Chain A
Amino acid sequence: MNAVRTDQDRIDDDALTGDAFTTTRVIDYLPGLALLIVVGLLGKYAEVWWLAAAKHEHGTVPDIEYVLWAILIGLVLTNTVGLHRVFRPGVLTYHFWLKVGIVALGSRFVLGDVLKMGATSLVQILIDMAVAGTIILAAARLFGLSGKFGSLLAIGTSICGVSAIVAAKGAIRARNSDVGHAIAAILALGAVALFSLPPLGHAIGLSDHEFGLWAGLAVDNTAETTATGYLFSDEAGKIAVLVKSTRNALIGFVVLGFALYWAARGEADELAPGARAKAAFIWEKFPKFVLGFLAVSAVATAGLLSKGQLANVANVSKWAFLLTFAGVGLSTDIRQIARSGWRPLAVAVIGLVVVAAVSLGLVLFTSRVLHWGVGG
Chain B
Amino acid sequence: MADRGAPPKTRSSASTGGWIVRVGADWWATILGLAITGLAVLGALPKIPW
Contacts and interface: CB of A to CB of B under 8 A. Distances in A.
A199 B33 CA distance: 32
A299 B37 contact: yes
A248 B34 contact: no
Given A19-B4, A291-B30, A10 B11 contact: yes
A24 B20 contact: yes
Contact of A164 (B2, B18, B24, B32): B2
Contacts of B37: 104, 106-107, 295-296, 299, 305, 313
A160 B3 CA distance: 12
B48 A319 contact: yes
Contacts of B8: 10
Given A160-B2, A305-B41, A313-B45, A100 B12 contact: no
Nearest to A249: B2
B25 A21 contact: yes
A148 interface: no
Nearest to A99: B29
B25 A20 contact: yes
Given A10-B10, A24-B16, A95-B25, A313 B36 contact: yes
Contact of B40 (A164, A167, A313): A313
B2 A252 contact: yes
A20 B20 CA distance: 11
A23 B12 CA distance: 8
B47 A312 contact: yes
Interface in B16-30: 16-18, 20-21, 24-30
Contacts of B11: 10, 22
Given A252-B2, A289-B1, A96 B40 contact: no
Q: Most B CB atoms within 10 A — which of A96, A98, A222?
A: A96
Contact of A98 (B1, B18, B20): B1
A287 interface: yes
Nearest to A292: B30
A309 B18 contact: no
A288 B26 contact: yes
B30 A103 contact: yes
A167 B34 contact: no
A286 interface: yes
Interface residues on B, range: 35 or more
A304 interface: yes
B2 A285 contact: yes
Contacts of B43: 306, 309
Contacts of A326: none
B41 A295 contact: no
A376 B22 CA distance: 43
Contacts of A10: 8, 10-11
A294 B25 CA distance: 17
Contact of A96 (B7, B25, B48): B25
A242 interface: no
A285 B4 CA distance: 7
Given A10-B11, A21-B20, A103-B33, A284 B5 contact: yes
A57 interface: no
A316 B35 CA distance: 12
Contacts of A26: 20
A104 B36 contact: yes
A325 to B, nearest CB: 14
Contacts of A292: 29-31, 33-34
17 contacts: A17-B4, A18-B4, A19-B25, A23-B21, A96-B25, A160-B1, A163-B2, A288-B27, A289-B3, A289-B29, A296-B34, A309-B40, A309-B41, A312-B46, A312-B47, A313-B48, A316-B48
Interface of B: 1-5, 7-8, 10-13, 16-18, 20-21, 24-34, 36-37, 40-41, 43, 45-50
Given A163-B1, A299-B41, 5 more contacts: A5-B10, A99-B29, A100-B33, A103-B33, A309-B41
